[in-house]
Structure 1
Amino acid sequence: MTKQHAFRLTTTWHPATDHEPLAYSLILTNLSNEPIGDFRLCVNGPGRIDPAATVEGGVLAVRLSNHSEFTPADDFVLQPKASWTITARGLSYPLRHWTDGATTAYIALADGKTVPVAITPTRAVGDNAPLKRGAEIYPVPAHVDVPVSVVPWPHTVSVSGSRSLPLGLAPQPQGSEAERAVQAFATSVQALFPVEGIVRTEAEGGLPVVLRISEGFKAEAYAIQFSDGGVDLTASTRSGLLYGLITLGQILRGARLHPETFVFPLEGEIRDEPAMRWRGTHLDVSRQFYGSAEISQFLHILAWNKLNRFHWHLSDDEAWRVEIDAYPELVSIGAWRGHGLPIPPLLGSGPQATGGYYTKAAIREIIRLADELAIDVVPEIDMPGHCYSVLQSLPWLRDPEERGEYFSIQGFPNNCLNPAREETYQFVETILDELLELFPSQTFHVGADEVPSDAWTGSPQAKARLAQLGSDSAAVLQADFLKRVQASLTRRGRTTGAWEEAAHGGGIDKTHCYLNGWHTVEISAKLANEGYDIVVCPGPVYYLDMANSPDWSEPGAGWAGWSEPEKLYNFDPVEGWSAPQREHFLGVQTCIWSEPMTDRAVFDRLVFPRISALAETGWTRPEAKSWNRFKGLAGLMPILYGYRSESV
């Protein structure tokens, strides 16, 4: 059988009714002129077939997380132009959106070869609405209640008049820090708006902008003075100057693209400073890989939104993404997925080897760019859980006497580093040696989320260590692990970042850590009350993989709910917090988990404009926020891939 044979897979979601249980049907059609037998149908996508599911029409022969392989009955032959139907009545969670369904399919033959299968998006019974992709771009109205276009909105805007629109800005830096700010701004506008000529000389019509360092401003604050002679920009730091230039660039673009709505001021002042010190986003590059060019462009977009933290999720069950000299297997094995490989196709990857990793040279270049853009890159290596790719790459890390299986919530077996083994700490210390040399951030994130409650129950070494600790809880064993890892980071002068589960089982040293509160604001408030510094990023609001609405036609996930841009914009991350609790509030960040992001048009729809809504929460004083104003300005903000709203 060769690849010239054509097959098509259609999938349908049947929600449960009063009379029928839920059903997920897969129909494989042989479009070729030849029969096919002795094969497996392999599918994957965010939705996970439950291993205990009732499967009609076939057998669930293999299941690892969201990768499933079905076999027909013995001696079954799929004849030309005929179809084979499989119905699964049981999933790890009900499908809620079209991207939950299978996104890749292929046929595996008995001789080891694979045959591609065309696949269409999963449809829901009774829902024929066009499926949505691409960012929804809010149109800029003819009238907005502000004269200039700036997102996030500044602290104070006192401008008047309208000068003839300059063709661009001609920065005149005074001093080395001002020169660096100008260079970073020029690099960003060239990357984001390459033909607009936002930075240009006076000879080409650029408006003089004098930049200088001046004492008296907070770290990221700045002031802009508009006058007949040009513009003066002052700040106490390079980041303040950069943010001032970004504000000017946004004002210029607004007035140029929508002269009926916005002006470039003739006189007056803008004084600005952020409401929160931590304004960030997290990007999971394990579930889907993003090349260095994508990461760099994304950093430019973060800076344009005045976001100052990039939480880089570099490892998870599905892949390891960073070069480690001491353990080359981490990338030769752990960075790739494919049929017959130690990690199978997952989340839209097909039978061919798919993936990638960041070399140390690439990371250094990304760190250099982030520093120029005033962005702190916080690396995350998720441990002790979410380590399936690590343990597939370095199986000697497992307890050789461990028996039985436990499963993560995502369906990965035995996916946790064993805290009872000295080999585990040798591994952690070795990767920290290499990673801390690469990443200068004060903060290193160790994950610590979603360790199964029955982890390590089959490990004699783990049982012995728990006996020494006087407990039988996996949370206590994780806490033991985290204390040791945190102590190593503290000795090296670093602060430990972790997800909120790091507080379980006795917790870690509160004076040298911060936690990401990802469940609810109430849980974050409780942790703040216990003395933990908190970055608020609740899944029901700030997880950008969640869909924009509950409609099937929207892409994204739904396990934490849904969050339209207006809901995210108006969300108060510290509602009900006391003054002492607010002392431990660092700020906010969105989290981009990449399960549904195989399609980059889905990325654009889920991330934009919600990331700008978060940016305004982090920067603008609560009393100065306005959804109507934001909606009128957000259409001018850049998107990563350029996909605009459409239907499929």
Structure 2
Amino acid sequence: MSIKLPPALRLETSWLPASEGRSQAYTLHLKNLSSKPIAGFTLCISGPGRVDPAVLIEGGTVGRRLSNFTEFLPPENFELGAGKTWTLTISALSWPFQHWTDGATGAYVAFGDGSTQSLAVEPTRSLANNAPLKRGAEIYPVPANPPVPVAIVPWPNAVSVSGKRSVPPGFAISSADPRATAAAAAFTGLVDQLFSVEGIVRPASEGGMPVVLEVADGFSAEAYRITFAADAVRIAASTQTGLLYGLITLGQVWRGAHLYPNAFRFPVEGEIRDEPSMGWRGLHLDVARQFYGKAEIKKLLSVLAWNKVNRFHWHLSDDEAWRVEIDAYPALTEVGAWRGHGLAIPPLLGSGAARTGGYYTKDAVREIVAHAKELGIEIVPEIDVPGHCFAMQQAIPELRDPQEAGSYYSVQGFPDNCLNPVREKTYEVLETILRELIELFPFKTIHIGADEVPLGAWSGSPEALARLREIGGDTMAEVHAKRLNVITNTHGADDIDGSGAAVLQSIFLARVQKFLAEQGCITGGWEEAAHGNVIDKTKSYLCGWRSVEVSAALAGQGYEMVVCPGQVYYLDMANSPDWDEPGASWAGWSEPETLYNFDPVEGWSDEQKKNLRGIQACIWSEPMTDRAVFDRLVFPRISALAESAWTRPADKSWERFRAVAGLMPVLYAYP
């Protein structure tokens, strides 16, 4: 019996930046390494980089294009001979490539009979830079003589310790109050997950040093005090979270002295007093562009807790996928959670021909929420509406105006991706979804996105144009109708303020925020939720992503702000402008030291600072098909963010932080 083997094919890609007299060039080489020719095929690729709608290409043509998925067609009657190479050169892209992760991260060949063949994809090679490509977290070495005697991140308010004793084998924790018992259990589970073989928690029979937990009045919600003595350590706080944070600080002191006994000490006596300078210390994670399983999310939450980060903004939907189970609409996950060749959502951002993706069942969500709660972390789910809804509309097509004609496009290249704000079906579906979400997330804070609605949104919907005419008059409606089929935002998100799109979105925002308030919820939104000034400022907050200045202006208007400017706090941005660094650069780049020293309220008035909730880092997952890229981009920058949110500015020191940051855990620890 003979086995028919697929042809041996390989894809190689390269990037040549533009220079004087020469256009940029993204070149694809499909090599036939087999002994037989192939014909009747197309080449399909995906990655963060996108082929421009006004494509300039040599060697073939573009078939289907959706965002960063592109199908390339060979010339008519083309045959790729044995040992031959088909070359495509593209000079029109949505932006010039700047990093090795910008090119194709997934590829396959599709044949006329419906079969496909996956292609191994190597990182795109720059013809102007051959430096070794960087992956994995940068772990700073611990110096021989660090500037502080104990290893703690984020640095506490007051450290007054002396002496150096032999490092205890671990800690035997005792408690009487149920809150203290819960804190001890949470800490034990935390170190078992992050540092399982170190034995930080161990019984007295194994030499564990006594640690006594005390619930005491007089502390703020997350504050604690650690008192060192020769025979025991005492930790006092008013809450379970405060006690947990005290234990985490003690664990960090222990690990520093245990792993680097010549550099750090375990004190004989003294105390540490501590409380955070900001109440909101957050991390946002986009799980739509890349899916992260339950185990990954739970471990990430543990890493956040070790950094005393207390908010997890969980971005559960976007154009590329829908990631949470909704009983009333099973198609959301049956259709919206999966990508692949021939599916409603094609391969995107490195996924290949095979069906790939995933979603969180309600049981998984409850487990994750409970894990976070034990660790002092509140979870804010985000369902991004009214824009970024391509996947949602593939699952529930009746959300569109049936008479809608033509197309408008998002900055990411998705057509017609916004929920219609004048259709009752929109609110019927969305309110049902939100009710199910509220039951899952007891923090009662729901983020509704409201970002990056295209300037031409709903310009082909008779229903929307009729409402716009009622509100804004004939001229506004006519101007808006002329935006149909016009690609307005190829190279950056539209500023829609004052446009017909903004007026229509304000109808949507006012109604959805009112609904959430009636359910007892706070509404979160990106800064664009301020368009129209229609949401109740006492029952909402905004995430300011464009700049500190925009956040300051919104705070001055009375909005409560979480500051997360993309130039610095977006962790998908590269660590440097160099090709060998992974990540994106559309907002800029920020190495860890830049992030650490960044002042999120520079130039703010005292009145504006009254509306500061805190800060958060944001992980957008487009470049993170490779989890070693995740480590490279997130660590140690998340620890730098955590210290910026916790430690008083006058007490910050990059030299001290760098000496200790190498002891902090990373998620994957891939090389």
TM-score range, shorter chain: over 0.9
- Tell me, yes or no, if the aligned pair for 2:17 and 2:128 is still in contact at 8 Å: no
1:342 to 338, 341, 344: 344
Q: Deviations over 1:601-631 (max 9, x none)?
A: 0000000000000000000000000000000
Per the alignment, do residues 610 and 3 of structure 1 end up closer, same or farther by CA in structure 2, a change over 3 Å counting?
A: farther
Q: Structure 2 counterpart of 1:430, which letter?
A: T
Q: Partner of 2:561 in structure 1?
A: 534
Q: Partner of 2:634 in structure 1?
A: 607
For residue 228 of structure 1, report the CA deviation from its aligned partner: 1.4
Mapping for residues 289-438 of structure 1, pairs under 5 Å: 289-438=291-440
Q: Count residues in correspondence.
A: 644
- Tell me, yes or no, if the aligned pair for 2:139 and 2:662 is still in contact at 8 Å: yes
Q: Deviations over 1:251-272 (max 9, x none)?
A: 0000000000001110001000
Corresponding residue SS for 1:263: coil
For residue 344 of structure 1, report the CA deviation from its aligned partner: 0.1
Mapping for residues 166-245 of structure 1, pairs under 5 Å: 166-245=168-247
In 2, Cα distance between equivalents of 1:630 and 1:593? 25
In 1, Cα distance between equivalents of 2:353 and 2:620? 23
In 2, Cα distance between equivalents of 1:378 and 1:329? 23
Q: Deviations over 1:143-195 (max 9, x none)?
A: 11111000000000000001221000111112100000000000000000011
In 2, Cα distance between equivalents of 1:469 and 1:155? 54
In 2, Cα distance between equivalents of 1:404 and 1:14? 36
Corresponding residue SS for 1:118: coil
Q: Structure 1 counterpart of 2:560, which letter?
A: D
In 1, Cα distance between equivalents of 2:662 and 2:239? 29
In 2, Cα distance between equivalents of 1:383 and 1:3? 46
Is 1:489 aligned to 2:516, yes or no?
Answer: yes
1:118 to 114, 117, 120: 120
In 2, Cα distance between equivalents of 1:150 and 1:574? 25
- Tell me, yes or no, if the aligned pair for 2:561 and 2:614 is still in contact at 8 Å: yes
Q: Structure 2 counterpart of 1:619, which letter?
A: W
1:454 to 439, 451, 456: 456
2:266 to 264, 271, 284: 264
1:164 to 156, 166, 172: 166
Q: Structure 1 counterpart of 2:371, which letter?
A: L
Structure 1: gaps of 5 or more residues = none
In 1, Cα distance between equivalents of 2:631 and 2:246? 27
For residue 408 of structure 1, report the CA deviation from its aligned partner: 0.2
In 2, Cα distance between equivalents of 1:126 and 1:28? 21
Mapping for residues 56-67 of structure 1, pairs under 5 Å: 56-67=58-69
Q: Structure 1 counterpart of 2:630, which letter?
A: F
For residue 442 of structure 1, report the CA deviation from its aligned partner: 2.8
For residue 3 of structure 1, report the CA deviation from its aligned partner: 5.3
Is 1:76 aligned to 2:103, yes or no?
Answer: no
Corresponding residue SS for 2:54: strand
TM normalised by structure 1 equals: 0.99
- Tell me, yes or no, if the aligned pair for 2:438 and 2:444 is still in contact at 8 Å: no
In 2, Cα distance between equivalents of 1:620 and 1:341? 48
Q: Partner of 1:478 in structure 2?
A: 505
For residue 26 of structure 1, report the CA deviation from its aligned partner: 0.6
For residue 508 of structure 1, report the CA deviation from its aligned partner: 1.6
In 2, Cα distance between equivalents of 1:47 and 1:605? 19
Q: Deviations over 1:280-316 (max 9, x none)?
A: 1000000000000000000000000000000000000
- Tell me, yes or no, if the aligned pair for 1:31 and 1:81 is still in contact at 8 Å: yes
Per the alignment, do residues 297 and 3 of structure 1 end up closer, same or farther by CA in structure 2, a change over 3 Å counting?
A: farther
Mapping for residues 483-562 of structure 1, pairs under 5 Å: 483-562=510-589
Is 1:287 aligned to 2:289, yes or no?
Answer: yes
Q: Deviations over 1:415-435 (max 9, x none)?
A: 000001000000111001111
Identity in percent:
64
Q: Deviations over 1:401-452 (max 9, x none)?
A: 0000000000000000000100000011100111100111131100000000
Q: Deviations over 1:305-362 (max 9, x none)?
A: 0000000000000000000010000000000000000000000100000000000000
- Tell me, yes or no, if the aligned pair for 1:209 and 1:233 is still in contact at 8 Å: yes
Mapping for residues 12-161 of structure 1, pairs under 5 Å: 12-161=14-163
In 2, Cα distance between equivalents of 1:618 and 1:525? 17
Q: Structure 1 counterpart of 2:542, which letter?
A: L
Corresponding residue SS for 1:61: strand
Q: Partner of 1:586 in structure 2?
A: 613
- Tell me, yes or no, if the aligned pair for 2:8 and 2:33 is still in contact at 8 Å: yes
Q: Structure 2 counterpart of 1:258, which letter?
A: Y
For residue 16 of structure 1, report the CA deviation from its aligned partner: 1.2
- Tell me, yes or no, if the aligned pair for 1:541 and 1:563 is still in contact at 8 Å: yes
Corresponding residue SS for 2:101: helix
- Tell me, yes or no, if the aligned pair for 1:51 and 1:60 is still in contact at 8 Å: no
- Tell me, yes or no, if the aligned pair for 1:338 and 1:352 is still in contact at 8 Å: yes
Corresponding residue SS for 1:411: coil
For residue 505 of structure 1, report the CA deviation from its aligned partner: 2.8
Deviates more, 1:463-472 or 1:582-591: 463-472
In 2, Cα distance between equivalents of 1:193 and 1:206? 16
In 1, Cα distance between equivalents of 2:254 and 2:589? 35
Q: Partner of 2:447 in structure 1?
A: 445
Q: Structure 2 counterpart of 1:19, which letter?
A: G
Q: Deviations over 1:504-535 (max 9, x none)?
A: 13342211110000000000000000000000
RMSD: 0.9
Q: Structure 2 counterpart of 1:336, which letter?
A: W
- Tell me, yes or no, if the aligned pair for 1:3 and 1:115 is still in contact at 8 Å: no
Q: Structure 1 counterpart of 2:555, which letter?
A: A
In 2, Cα distance between equivalents of 1:228 and 1:127? 57
In 2, Cα distance between equivalents of 1:197 and 1:142? 25
Corresponding residue SS for 2:52: strand
Deviates more, 1:122-131 or 1:292-301: 122-131
Q: Partner of 2:493 in structure 1?
A: none
- Tell me, yes or no, if the aligned pair for 1:541 and 1:568 is still in contact at 8 Å: yes
Q: Partner of 1:624 in structure 2?
A: 651
Q: Partner of 1:638 in structure 2?
A: 665
Corresponding residue SS for 1:28: strand
In 2, Cα distance between equivalents of 1:400 and 1:144? 67
Per the alignment, do residues 615 and 493 of structure 1 end up closer, same or farther by CA in structure 2, a change over 3 Å counting?
A: same
- Tell me, yes or no, if the aligned pair for 2:216 and 2:236 is still in contact at 8 Å: yes
- Tell me, yes or no, if the aligned pair for 1:6 and 1:117 is still in contact at 8 Å: no
In 2, Cα distance between equivalents of 1:274 and 1:118? 47
In 1, Cα distance between equivalents of 2:605 and 2:577? 33
Q: Deviations over 1:367-399 (max 9, x none)?
A: 110110010000000000000000011101100
For residue 2 of structure 1, report the CA deviation from its aligned partner: 6.0
For residue 4 of structure 1, report the CA deviation from its aligned partner: 2.7
- Tell me, yes or no, if the aligned pair for 1:106 and 1:115 is still in contact at 8 Å: yes
For residue 468 of structure 1, report the CA deviation from its aligned partner: 2.1
Which stretches of structure 1, 4 residues or longer, exceed 6 Å deviation after superposition?
none
Q: Structure 1 counterpart of 2:422, which letter?
A: A
Q: Partner of 1:5 in structure 2?
A: 7
In 1, Cα distance between equivalents of 2:364 and 2:123? 35
Q: Deviations over 1:195-231 (max 9, x none)?
A: 1110011111111010011000111000001111211
Structure 2: gaps of 5 or more residues = 478-499
